[in-house]
Amino acid sequence: MNLANSLSITRIILVPIFMVFMLNQKPFGLLIAAGIFVVAGCTDILDGYIARKQETVSTMGKFLDPMADKLLITAGLISLVYLGYLNPWFALIIISREFAVSWLRLILAAQGVIVMASKLGKLKNVLQIVAVVSLIVHAAFQTVWFQESALRFFLFIPSWLIAPLALYLAVILTVVSGVEYFYRNRKNIRF
């Protein structure tokens, strides 16, 4: 087990911990969940960098990394929908694209073709992480405990602007990068 794959596994382990804080309805729970999501998102950036730097890119890593990404993003989106902070249509678009690209990867892997993440796909992932974190922070800012605490004077972040902007950009890039994966691999798809 190399370091890059260990980081992907760490990201998978952080998902249920994130969910506990996200759904427990305790003061600071949403902000702690946002922090965990940021840490998990950083492991996503680090694992690919480390794998390339140490030349430890592996077949396991090529499947483990995207799976960990999808688990993390899906957990964030479903939690936000469940709590009423995200329109289900946004979650459906993003999750559907993730399933479609995973399906493409599996079909092509069965044919001996490994689909590497594209630069657009990596950017999409970063934007999805930013969108989910900003939506969680915005949700935390709307809670009664935050409105009544002194924190509201120290944590002035225009989440009302950042959250929807990040979400719309993430959704657009999600769709575009999904189309790109299918277009780039159209010649390899055989049914």
Domain definitions of the chain by residue range = 3-184
Is residue 181 within 8 A of residue 101, CB to CB? The reply is yes
CATH architecture of the domain formed by 3-184: Up-down Bundle (1.20)
DSSP string, 17-66: HHHHHHHS--TTHHHHHHHHHHHHHHHHHHHHHHHHHTT---HHHHHHHH
Residue 51: per-residue pLDDT: 73
Residues 6+ apart with CB under 8 A from 166: 127, 130, 131, 134, 135
Residue-wise pLDDT tens digits, 116-153: 778 898 899 999 999 999 999 989 888 767 666 656 65
Residue-wise pLDDT tens digits, 165-174: 999 999 999 9
